[in-house]
């Protein structure tokens, strides 16, 4: 049998490369919402409103009252790797903004139709521009605008048949979007959030922006969650091992739920930390055997250089120095809190 010739290696067209990369950053409608809301937070908005049609496949619209985008920047706004947040690689070590790669808006233009309306301070009118495949489609048009920026993404994944199909068949992404906004709303209590379906009178997430954390949790997750929470704090300032501060709210023995809700922010960044989540689930089932799954809100603050934010295309995961030490410390604080509250309850039941 004749030896097979090796296949020819070719360079992919740039548009193909960009669409592939975009598919990783924007995995589902909720990923686009996360990027847009994080941009609004980075723009120092105090009000962020989200409208969604068809689980985000038809329309995602995020409006904010942040600092807006300069007219001169509109041309390159949606090109890949254009950002106002990062300039040197070293900046990544101390980055405070949610974004840093200049990839989110570009990615959306490779898998959907993006249009932007924005106005900056002191201007009499705003501008509107639309984008496709990273490129601004026409000169920005002057238009009426209130403070801030509104970004619309339409027909997400119109050019990714397989993705569109699986999303249409899967459960509605809308609930994932509501869940996401709920999380942002209880952490960023100084910002008012709303999220609604297109055409709906009622918002499914609504926070007022001046609330205390517990008020925000009450309005977003409901009374039954809010009334069964305990404050918790931990810190470790031994520089030789780890330096961190944690404060949060965790559910008590009265709380009932079928599955765990873990809302975690590390340095104000919404992240998943599976190892911590698991370890806290273990503490709950060991300490309150008959209790249900917990609700946990935690905000952890670490030195910026202890957190690597650049390990995941959706930025949903981060890598943390001294993980084990931090987990152990938080685990023991939670366990103590649960034991103490459980003892109080037992005592109350006996008397």
Give the H or E element holding residue 51.
Answer: strand 47-53
Say how many residues make up the chain: 351
Report the partner that residue 204 touches, choosing among ligand ADP, Mg ion, none (CB closer than 5 to 8 A by kind): none
| CA distances for 275 relative to 128, 284, 313, 321, 351, angstroms | 44, 15, 20, 14, 39
Taking the least distance from each CB to Mg ion, the nearer of 86 and 321 is: 86
Site string for Mg ion, 33-72 (x = CB under 5 A): ------x---------------------------------
- Residue 290 DSSP class: T
195 vs 37: CA distance, rounded Å:
11
Taking the least distance from each CB to ligand ADP, the nearer of 266 and 326 is: 266
Q: What is the per-residue burial (b if ≥16 Cβ within 10 Å, else e) of 120-136? A: beeeeebbbbbbebbeb
Taking the least distance from each CB to ligand ADP, the nearer of 127 and 221 is: 127
Report the partner that residue 84 touches, choosing among Mg ion, ligand ADP, none (CB closer than 5 to 8 A by kind): ligand ADP
For residues 96-155, which are near Mg ion according to CB under 5 A? Answer: 99, 104
Instruction: Find the shortest distance in angstroms from Cβ 338 to Mg ion.
Output: 38
Instruction: Find the shortest distance in angstroms from Cβ 324 to ligand ADP.
Output: 31
List of E strands, 155-303: 192-197, 205-206, 229-238, 242-251, 261-266, 269-270, 295-301
124 vs 206: CA distance, rounded Å:
30
Q: Say whether residue 242 binds Mg ion (CB under 5 A).
A: no
Instruction: Find the shortest distance in angstroms from Cβ 83 to Mg ion.
Output: 8
Residues forming the site for ligand ADP (CB under 6 A):
35, 39-40, 43, 64, 66-69, 77, 83-85, 99-106, 149
List of E strands, 121-175: 126-132, 135-136, 141-143, 148-154
Size of site (CB under 5 A) for Mg ion: 3
Instruction: Find the shortest distance in angstroms from Cβ 153 to Mg ion.
Output: 13
4 vs 141: CA distance, rounded Å:
57
Taking the least distance from each CB to Mg ion, the nearer of 101 and 213 is: 101
Instruction: Find the shortest distance in angstroms from Cβ 31 to ligand ADP.
Output: 12
Residues 113 and 153 sit within 8 Å (Cβ to Cβ): yes
Report the partner that residue 77 touches, choosing among ligand ADP, Mg ion, none (CB closer than 5 to 8 A by kind): ligand ADP
Instruction: Find the shortest distance in angstroms from Cβ 41 to ligand ADP.
Output: 9
Report the partner that residue 100 touches, choosing among Mg ion, ligand ADP, none (CB closer than 5 to 8 A by kind): ligand ADP
Report the partner that residue 185 touches, choosing among Mg ion, ligand ADP, none (CB closer than 5 to 8 A by kind): none
Taking the least distance from each CB to Mg ion, the nearer of 104 and 108 is: 104
State which residue has the least CB distance to ligand ADP: 99
Among residues 277, 325, 328, 324, the alpha carbon closest in space to that of 298 is found at 277
197 vs 175: CA distance, rounded Å:
11
């Amino acid at each position: 049998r004749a030896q097979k010739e090796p296949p020819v290696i070719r360079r992919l067209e740039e548009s193909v490369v960009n669409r592939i990369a975009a598919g990783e950053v924007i995995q589902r409608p909720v990923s686009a919402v996360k990027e847009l809301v994080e941009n609004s937070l980075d723009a120092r908005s105090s009000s962020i409103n989200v409208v969604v049609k068809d689980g985000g496949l038809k329309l995602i619209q995020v409006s904010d009252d942040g600092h807006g985008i300069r007219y001169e920047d509109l041309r390159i706004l949606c090109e890949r790797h254009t950002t106002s947040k990062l300039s040197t690689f070293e900046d990544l070590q101390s980055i405070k903004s949610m974004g840093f790669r200049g990839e989110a808006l570009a990615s959306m233009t490779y898998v959907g139709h993006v249009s932007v309306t924005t106005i900056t301070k002191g201007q009499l009118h705003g501008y509107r521009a639309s984008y496709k495949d990273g490129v601004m489609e026409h000169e920005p048009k002057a238009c009426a605008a209130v403070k801030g920026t509104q970004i619309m993404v339409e027909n997400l994944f119109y050019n990714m048949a397989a993705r569109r199909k699986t999303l249409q068949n899967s459960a509605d992404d809308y609930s994932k979007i509501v869940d996401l906004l709920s999380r942002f709303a209880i952490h960023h209590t100084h910002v008012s959030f709303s999220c609604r379906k297109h055409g709906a009178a009622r918002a499914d997430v609504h926070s007022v922006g001046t609330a205390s954390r517990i008020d925000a949790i009450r309005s977003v997750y409901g009374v039954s969650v809010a009334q069964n929470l305990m404050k918790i704090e931990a810190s470790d300032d031994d520089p030789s091992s780890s330096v961190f501060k944690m404060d949060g709210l965790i559910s008590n023995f009265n709380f009932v739920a079928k599955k765990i809700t873990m809302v975690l922010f590390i340095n104000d960044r919404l992240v998943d930390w599976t190892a911590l989540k698991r370890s806290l689930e273990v503490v709950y089932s060991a300490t309150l055997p008959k209790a249900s799954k917990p609700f946990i809100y935690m905000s952890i603050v670490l030195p910026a250089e202890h957190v690597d934010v650049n390990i995941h295309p959706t930025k949903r995961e981060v890598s943390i120095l001294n993980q084990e030490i931090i987990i152990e410390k938080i685990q023991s604080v939670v366990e103590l809190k649960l034991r103490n509250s459980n003892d109080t309850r037992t005592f109350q039941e006996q008397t």
